[in-house]
Chain A
Amino acid sequence: MTDVLDVDAVSRSFGDRQVLKDVSFLVTAGRMTGFVGANGAGKTTTMRIMLGVLSADSGQVTWRGTPLDRPTRQRFGYMPEERGLYPKMTVSDQVVYLGQLHGMTRADARRNTAALLDRLGLGERAGDQVEKLSLGNQQRVQVAAALVHEPEVLVLDEPFSGLDPLAVDTVLGVLRERAAAGAPVLFSSHQLELVERLCDDLVIIADGSIRASGSRSALRASYAQPRFAIQVAADAGWLRDQAGVTLVELDGPRAVFDLAPEADNQSVLHAALERGPVHSFGAVTPSLAEIFREVTR
Chain B
Amino acid sequence: MSTFAAARLVAEREIKVKLRDKTFLFSTAFFLLIAVASTVLPALLDGGPTTVAAASSSPSAEALRDAGLEVRAVASDAEAERLVRDGDVEAAVVAGPRVLALEDAPGDVVQALSTAPPVQLLEPSSLDPFVEFIVPFALAFVFFMTSFAFGLQIAQSVTEEKQSRIVEILVSSVPVRALLTGKVAAMTLLAFGQIALIAVVSYVGMQIAEVDAGVVGQIGPAIAWFLPFFVLGFVMLATLWAGVGALAARQEDVGGVSTPLQMAVMIPFFAVVFLSDNATAMKVLSYLPLSSPVAMPIRLFNDEAAGWEPIASLALLTVAAVIFLAVGARIYEGSLLRTNGRTPVSIAWRSRALVD
Contact yes or no, A86 B337, CB < 8 A: no
A51-B172, A84-B164, A86-B161 are known; give 13 further A-B pairs, CB within 8 A.
A52-B355, A53-B171, A70-B175, A78-B168, A78-B169, A86-B160, A93-B16, A100-B9, A101-B1, A101-B9, A101-B10, A101-B174, A103-B1
A16 at the interface (CB under 8 A from B): no
Min CB distance B343 to A, Å, is 14
- 1/0 contact trace for B149-182 toward A, CB 8 Å? 0000000000011001111111111110000000
Inside 8 A of B171's CB, which chain A residues have their CB?
52-53
Closest-by-CB residue of A relative to B157 is A86
Min CB distance A140 to B, Å, is 15
Main secondary structure of the interface of A (DSSP, over half): loop
Contact yes or no, A85 B353, CB < 8 A: no
Contact yes or no, A52 B172, CB < 8 A: yes
A55, B351: Cα distance in complex, Å: 11
Contact partner, A84, options B1, B168, B356, Cβ 8 Å: B168
Inside 8 A of B175's CB, which chain A residues have their CB?
70
- Knowing A53-B168, A53-B171 are in contact, say whether A82-B339 is a contact too (CB < 8 A): yes
A54 at the interface (CB under 8 A from B): yes
B17 at the interface (CB under 8 A from A): yes
21 pairs of residues in contact across A and B, judged by CB atoms under 8 Å: A51-B168, A52-B171, A52-B355, A55-B353, A55-B354, A73-B173, A74-B1, A74-B173, A74-B174, A76-B172, A80-B169, A82-B165, A84-B167, A84-B168, A86-B17, A86-B166, A87-B160, A89-B17, A98-B169, A102-B173, A146-B169
Inside 8 A of A101's CB, which chain B residues have their CB?
1, 6, 9-10, 170, 173-174
Min CB distance A55 to B, Å, is 5
A83 at the interface (CB under 8 A from B): yes
A88 at the interface (CB under 8 A from B): yes
Contact yes or no, A80 B165, CB < 8 A: yes
Contact yes or no, A84 B166, CB < 8 A: yes
Which residues of B303-356 have CB atoms within 8 Å of chain A's CB atoms? Answer: 337, 339, 353-356
Closest-by-CB residue of A relative to B354 is A55
Contact yes or no, A48 B168, CB < 8 A: yes
B85 at the interface (CB under 8 A from A): no
Contact yes or no, A70 B356, CB < 8 A: yes
- 1/0 contact trace for A43-86 toward B, CB 8 Å? 00000100111110000000000000010011010101011111
Contact partner, A55, options B13, B174, B355, Cβ 8 Å: B355
A32 at the interface (CB under 8 A from B): no
Closest-by-CB residue of B relative to A130 is B164
Main secondary structure of the interface of B (DSSP, over half): helix
Q: Which 10 pairs, one residue from A and one from B, show the smallest C-beta to C-beta distance? A: A84-B165, A84-B166, A82-B165, A80-B168, A51-B172, A52-B355, A103-B1, A55-B355, A101-B173, A84-B164
Closest-by-CB residue of A relative to B339 is A82
A146, B168: Cα distance in complex, Å: 12
Contact yes or no, B17 A54, CB < 8 A: no
Closest-by-CB residue of B relative to A94 is B166
A100, B173: Cα distance in complex, Å: 10
Inside 8 A of B168's CB, which chain A residues have their CB?
48, 51, 53, 78, 80, 82, 84
Inside 8 A of B16's CB, which chain A residues have their CB?
93
Contact yes or no, B356 A88, CB < 8 A: no
Closest-by-CB residue of B relative to A52 is B355
Min CB distance B314 to A, Å, is 36
Contact yes or no, A85 B166, CB < 8 A: yes
Closest-by-CB residue of B relative to A75 is B173
Min CB distance B99 to A, Å, is 67
Contact partner, B164, options A70, A86, A100, Cβ 8 Å: A86
A84, B339: Cα distance in complex, Å: 12
Min CB distance A263 to B, Å, is 54
Min CB distance B158 to A, Å, is 13
A80, B165: Cα distance in complex, Å: 8
Inside 8 A of A145's CB, which chain B residues have their CB?
169
